[in-house]
Amino acid sequence: MSQFRVLIDSNDEKGLVYKVSTVFFTNNLNILSNSEFVDKENNKFFMRSVVDGDIDFASLYKALKEVLPSSANIKVIEPKKKNIIIMATKELHALGDILIRHEAGELDANILAVISNYDKLESLVKKFDIPYIAISHDGYERAEHEQKIIECINNYEDVDYIVLAKYMRILTPNFVETYSDKIINIHHSFLPAFIGANPYKQAYDRGVKIIGATAHFVNNNLDEGPIIEQEVIHVNHTYGWRDMQRSGRDVEKVVLSRALKLALEDRIFVYANKTVIF
């Protein structure tokens, strides 16, 4: 008995559910969960099913391929621990939250390494017997520094996701393209408000009554990638920007961890710079 997550996206047309469910039925598979969504505006169809039964990956993939339109994207995924690399700078809360969840067995992931441009977080990471690689940006051009990071990442095989747990350096298009759809970032505002540096200071200056955090995939345009998850908290006039920062950390870590969980469970489709999440 094998279990598979089946993710399909396609131009919409009649009969897609019928065709997929026919494959499941004729192969005698159990449907453990099944979600569909049609984006009418763009005529796009999305489907995620979890099935189990007596079938192997290749047969299931082939059976789906045969019935679905050639334009359909089909993923058949065997549930297993994904490999992640975390990048951080100096802040401890988002990284710490992931480490604790990992320790608790909550995350279906292997943390291959933590890479930082400082050594500040080393003592924390080492407690958890996870490799910590400090790659200082000091004295390097941005591209040079990133190249060293890429080389470091290349030491690891099958990296599924790179999690930016408050990595505070801007990434170049080259870096981002290298790991397209694999980089998850936490931005400390409810995007698209307060793009860029020090969003809490911006929020304080604007006098908002709500602050938030946004987890998103990183694409070429800073802070403009597909949003995975957002959350907010209420603030008031007694909050200076450092108070906002302090309170905001609790939102940041929760939002990042939720987004990571969704990614690890293969629940996210990216389309038109947005996400469909089942």
List of residues contacting a copy of itself (CB under 8 A)? 14-15, 17-18, 21-22, 24-25, 28-41, 92-93, 96-97, 99-101, 103-104, 106, 124, 127-128, 190-194, 206-210, 212, 226-232, 234, 236-238, 240, 246, 249-250, 254, 257-258, 272-277
- Nearest approach in angstroms of CB 195 to a copy of itself is 10
Specify the residue, 164 or 191, whose C-beta has the smaller distance to a copy of itself. Answer: 191
Dist CA 145 CA 118 (whole Å): 12
Specify the residue, 145 or 216, whose C-beta has the smaller distance to a copy of itself. Answer: 216
Which of the following is catalytic: 12, 160, 181, 223?
Answer: 223
- Nearest approach in angstroms of CB 82 to a copy of itself is 18
Dist CA 184 CA 161 (whole Å): 7
Specify the residue, 149 or 276, whose C-beta has the smaller distance to a copy of itself. Answer: 276
Q: What are the respective helix, strand and coil percentages of the chain, to the nearest 5?
A: 30, 30, 35
Look up residue 170 and give its DSSP letter.
P
Dist CA 198 CA 33 (whole Å): 41
Exposure of 71 in the CB half-sphere (CA atoms within 13 A): 9
Question: What phi and psi values does residue 173 have, to the nearest 5 degrees?
Answer: -55, -35
Specify the residue, 149 or 263, whose C-beta has the smaller distance to a copy of itself. Answer: 263
Exposure of 249 in the CB half-sphere (CA atoms within 13 A): 13
Q: How far is CA 128 from CA 114, 211, 256, in A?
A: 11, 32, 20
- Nearest approach in angstroms of CB 153 to a copy of itself is 25
Specify the residue, 61 or 128, whose C-beta has the smaller distance to a copy of itself. Answer: 128
Dist CA 112 CA 115 (whole Å): 10
- Nearest approach in angstroms of CB 106 to a copy of itself is 7
Specify the residue, 159 or 270, whose C-beta has the smaller distance to a copy of itself. Answer: 270
- Nearest approach in angstroms of CB 141 to a copy of itself is 32
Residue of 180, 186, 156 lying closest to 82 (CA atoms)? 156
Active site residue 266: no
Question: What phi and psi values does residue 27 have, to the nearest 5 degrees?
Answer: -95, 5
Residue linked to tokens 């505002």? 189
DSSP-assigned states of every residue in 138-169? TTS-HHHHHHHHHHHHHTSSS--EEEESS--S
Active site residues: 223
